[in-house]
Amino acid sequence: MPDADLSAASAEKGGRAARAAALPALRAAIDRIIPADAWPAGWEGGVREYLTDDPIAADRDLLWAWPELLSLAARLDDEARRTGAADFAALGVDEQDAILAMIESGSGARAFDALRRVSWEGYYASSDGRHPAGLDMVGFRGAPEGVTPIEPEPLKTVTAAQVHSHYDAIIVGSGPGGGVAAQVLTAAGKHVLLVERAPYLRADEIRGDHLHGKRNAVYWPTVGPGPGHPRVAQTPDGDRLIDGTGDAGLYGLNADTIGGGTRIWQGMAWRFMPEDFRMASLYGNPDGASLADWPVSYDELEPYYTKAEWELGVAGEEGGLTSRTPRSAGYPMPAMGTEPSRELLGSAADRLGWGWGPIPLAINSQPWDGRAACVRCAQCIGNTCPVDAKNGSQSTFIPRAIATGLCDLLPDAEVVEVRDGVGAAGVTIMADATKRPVELTVSADVVVVSAGAVETARLLLASGLGNDHVGRYLHDHRTATVLGHAAEPVKPYIGPGHSVATLDHVHAATVPWGGGVIVDLMGLLPLTSAGQPGPGTPAWGARHKEWMRGGRANLFGVFAMGQEIPMPTSRVTLASVKDRWGRPGAALRKEVHWTSQQVEDGLAVQGATWLAAAGITDIRRQGGPATASAAGEHSCGTARMGTSSDNSATDPYGRVWGSHRVVACDSSLHPTNGSVNPTLTIVANAFRVAENLVAEWPR
């Protein structure tokens, strides 16, 4: 009889028969986790198909679960036989519930959790083309009725054989940093090779999968780097080895795809506050912290912010959220229209005397740049857009660069080494990386490294470039989520997600160390809601299912995001584990400074105040203090800009100290990461860095 220690491999080997034998007990148990009512029970509503018909689930994703499920099935039948029944399926539902409750609260808790998790994944998550009953039950649609998703015109790419031996510039990574560099350099007549390690995926391959999409990333993320990209997370509990197919949070994944994170982002497009550029001057440096002033001020960056908003396409409104960031131009598009959460929190902010407004979003609130307006679908964040209304590197900067005829975009190609030299720089590329890899050696006047905060540091370190500051000061943002119960549903299944914000706790007396922004919680995917039943709602069974249909819609909250105080000991280094090319993977270490903890705690208190003023009840902070992964979607700082090689990895224009022809141009340059999402600042700074590169082209 299989037991809980059965390895995934042996479960797989002898597993087909064992799995089939376990199905009657599992089916009966799944139908108690999600019992039938007006809607089908769990098994027929989607879990059968998930467990037995989906080859990706059966042969890959659920290998972890089967040993648990097999052991649970055996236990359920054993317990049933003790009562004189033939097996678990033969029992009445009350007796089945009693056995499940006993196992849940006793020695079988782990196996029970596996069963519940698999049941929810099968019933409430769309994945691999499945559309289970739970989605219709809660009224979730991927795209609004009548909207037919479109596939944008594919970007023109080059093959390995078409790559030239020399370019004016080689750009590593196609995220917002790399995309802006490509646009600016090609506009100046430079011939560039834009290298992206992710293969080219169609938009519909990165949309609507609630298990593999980046929003939940339960298994093998679609926008992960895939197998052969190990990292080591140096956690307080010891080193953990994770591959690019594994836990996206622990891995510190942003998104590897054409356009980097901006292909699937939420698009919150903030300017940093003037104070964000002077953190060391304003707050000093408490023990162990390494706050730094930027080598550029808000006033100097302001023209680039305006350019970033117009080149990217941002929908926003001047008013409560812009009064502290002087502007030389308005937004190119009006803000996205209102929704119930904005109305509720806006009136509450008025009662509290707080400033508020619609969040500036890099989303088309009206047709823009030859693309359609947003249709407010329910799954914006973590997905590509069904109508291509989301503005990112892939829909703005890169197409413009390619349109000049001077940008060769090479996907599925990883730069594994950068070489610097007095006369020329160069790279080694593994092209056709997921097919039949071929090694290319290409030279250039300049190499621009825009691979994101972790990979830029890894590549520089592995190439022996830069000083001891490279890789240090890895930081992100601190976050806090506060939940509660709204009298009326305020977050229906419409997009884009976050809608309203207050910046009153940024560099204010209420939250120390620069504080941060507070926004309304985005609408949760059904699978996420299933795991967060409100107080008093059981975690499975008929009442849980009823709550999913009704009370779930009243779950509401706010999300706060604020300063993480950088530390030199939080860093990217080279691990001993090797990637698919035999190059060292990244080791990630994150220490949390006590001041960072004060930021998130302070924001949580203010978030609760906002919710209370909005009449929300049952207010609670989710999960206590945030235990941020070492890296994530907002990672930055690993090649920080500064005025001297004594305190930074690059000069004020991203030129790597000690190198002749290597420039960093992405989130790694941020000395500190502001009190809001970072990408508009990455874009603005990239325009500044790239324009300077053109002006001071290395001879």
Ligand X SMILES: Cc1cc2nc3c(=O)[nH]c(=O)nc-3n(C[C@H](O)[C@H](O)[C@H](O)COP(=O)(O)OP(=O)(O)OC[C@H]3O[C@@H](n4cnc5c(N)ncnc54)[C@H](O)[C@@H]3O)c2cc1C
Six-digit token pair at 289?
């912290």
Beta strands in 334-405 (DSSP E): 357-358
Residue ranges in 284-323 that form contacts with ligand SF4 under rule CB under 6 A: none
Closest CA to 472 of 664, 698, 696, 290: 290
| Backbone torsion region of residue 341, taken as left when φ is above 0, otherwise alpha when ψ lies between -120 and 50, otherwise beta | alpha
DSSP code for 91: S
Closest distance to ligand SF4 from the beta carbon of 132 (Å): 21
Q: What value, to the nearest 5°, has the Cα angle with vertex 14 and ends 12 and 16?
A: 75
Scanning 17-25, 104-112, 303-311, 446-454 for contacts with ligand X by CB under 6 A, the matching segment is 446-454
599: helix, coil or strand? helix
Q: What value, to the nearest 5°, has the Cα angle with vertex 561 and ends 240 and 594?
A: 65
What's the full length of the chain, in residues? 699
Cβ–Cβ contacts within 10 Å for residue 331, how many? Answer: 21
| Residue nearer to ligand SF4 on the CB measure, 372 or 605 | 372
| Residue nearer to ligand X on the CB measure, 88 or 272 | 272
Question: Using the rule CB under 6 A, is 495 a contact of ligand SF4?
Answer: yes
Of 119, 174, 384, 396, which lies in the binding site for ligand X, with binding defined by CB under 6 A?
A: 174
Question: Using the rule CB under 6 A, is 415 a contact of ligand X?
Answer: yes
Question: Using the rule CB under 6 A, is 256 a contact of ligand X?
Answer: yes
Residue 415, contacted partner among ligand X, ligand SF4, none, CB below 5-8 A by kind: ligand X
The Cβ-side half-sphere exposure at 230, using a 13 Å CA radius, reads 17
Question: Using the rule CB under 6 A, is 363 a contact of ligand X?
Answer: no
Closest distance to ligand SF4 from the beta carbon of 361 (Å): 8
Distances (CA, A) of 447 to 119, 162, 182, 187: 49, 19, 12, 17
Six-digit token pair at 367?
């047709």
Of 677, 684, 688, 690, which lies in the binding site for ligand X, with binding defined by CB under 6 A?
A: 677
Of 496, 566, 602, 642, which lies in the binding site for ligand SF4, with binding defined by CB under 6 A?
A: 496
Task: For 555-592, give the DSSP string.
Answer: EEEEEEEEE----TTSEEEEEEEE-TTSPEEEEEE---
Residues near ligand SF4 (CB under 6 A), total = 13
Contacts of 681 (CB under 8 A, 6+ apart): 270, 271, 272, 301, 305, 670, 674
Tell me the pairing of strands 192-195 and 166-172.
Answer: parallel
246 touches 643 (CB < 8 A): no
Of 75, 130, 210, 214, which lies in the binding site for ligand X, with binding defined by CB under 6 A?
A: 214
Task: Give me the amino acid identity at 165.
Answer: S
Residue 254, contacted partner among ligand SF4, ligand X, none, CB below 5-8 A by kind: ligand X
Of 127, 183, 222, 262, which lies in the binding site for ligand X, with binding defined by CB under 6 A?
A: 262
Residue 214, contacted partner among ligand X, ligand SF4, none, CB below 5-8 A by kind: ligand X
User: Is 241 exposed, middle or buried, given 0-12, 13-18 or 19+ CB atoms closer than 10 A?
Assistant: middle
Closest distance to ligand X from the beta carbon of 495 (Å): 12
The four Cα atoms 52, 54, 55, 58 give a dihedral, to 10 degrees, of -50
Closest distance to ligand SF4 from the beta carbon of 144 (Å): 8
Residue 173, contacted partner among ligand SF4, ligand X, none, CB below 5-8 A by kind: ligand X
Scanning 172-180, 300-308, 514-522, 651-659 for contacts with ligand X by CB under 6 A, the matching segment is 172-180
Scanning 67-75, 159-167, 368-376, 539-547 for contacts with ligand SF4 by CB under 6 A, the matching segment is 368-376
| Residue nearer to ligand SF4 on the CB measure, 363 or 506 | 363
| Angstrom distance (rounded) from CA 172 to CA 414 | 8
482 touches 604 (CB < 8 A): yes
Question: Using the rule CB under 6 A, is 687 a contact of ligand X?
Answer: no
| Residue nearer to ligand X on the CB measure, 257 or 595 | 257
The residue with its CB nearest to ligand SF4 is 495
Question: Using the rule CB under 6 A, is 382 a contact of ligand X?
Answer: yes
Q: What value, to the nearest 5°, has the Cα angle with vertex 642 and ends 426 and 285?
A: 140
Closest distance to ligand X from the beta carbon of 39 (Å): 30
| Angstrom distance (rounded) from CA 430 to CA 676 | 36
User: Is 212 exposed, middle or buried, given 0-12, 13-18 or 19+ CB atoms closer than 10 A?
Assistant: buried
Of 253, 363, 446, 560, which lies in the binding site for ligand SF4, with binding defined by CB under 6 A?
A: 363
Residues near ligand X (CB under 6 A), total = 41
Residue 387, contacted partner among ligand X, ligand SF4, none, CB below 5-8 A by kind: ligand SF4
Closest CA to 552 of 643, 633, 489, 646: 489
Question: Using the rule CB under 6 A, is 666 a contact of ligand X?
Answer: yes
| Residue nearer to ligand X on the CB measure, 45 or 261 | 261
Of 112, 265, 298, 547, which lies in the binding site for ligand X, with binding defined by CB under 6 A?
A: 265
Closest CA to 552 of 209, 139, 132: 139
27: helix, coil or strand? helix
| Angstrom distance (rounded) from CA 174 to CA 179 | 5
| Residue nearer to ligand SF4 on the CB measure, 4 or 494 | 494
Closest distance to ligand X from the beta carbon of 178 (Å): 6
Of 155, 255, 348, 500, which lies in the binding site for ligand X, with binding defined by CB under 6 A?
A: 255
Question: Using the rule CB under 6 A, is 255 a contact of ligand SF4?
Answer: no
DSSP code for 53: I
Question: Using the rule CB under 6 A, is 634 a contact of ligand X?
Answer: yes
Beta strands in 177-237 (DSSP E): 192-195, 226-235
- The pattern of x and - marking residues 374 through 403 that bind ligand SF4 according to CB under 6 A reads xxxx--x----xxx-xx-------------
Tell me the pairing of strands 438-449 and 662-664.
Answer: parallel
Residue 666, contacted partner among ligand SF4, ligand X, none, CB below 5-8 A by kind: ligand X
- The pattern of x and - marking residues 26 through 45 that bind ligand SF4 according to CB under 6 A reads --------------------
Scanning 227-235, 249-257, 569-577, 617-625 for contacts with ligand X by CB under 6 A, the matching segment is 249-257
Closest CA to 141 of 378, 334, 441: 378
Residues that bind ligand SF4 in the complex, under the rule CB under 6 A: 363, 374-377, 380, 385-387, 389-390, 495-496
Note the residues at the interface with ligand X (CB under 6 A).
172-178, 195-198, 214, 254-257, 260-262, 264-268, 381-382, 414-415, 450-452, 455, 459, 633-634, 666-667, 677-679, 682
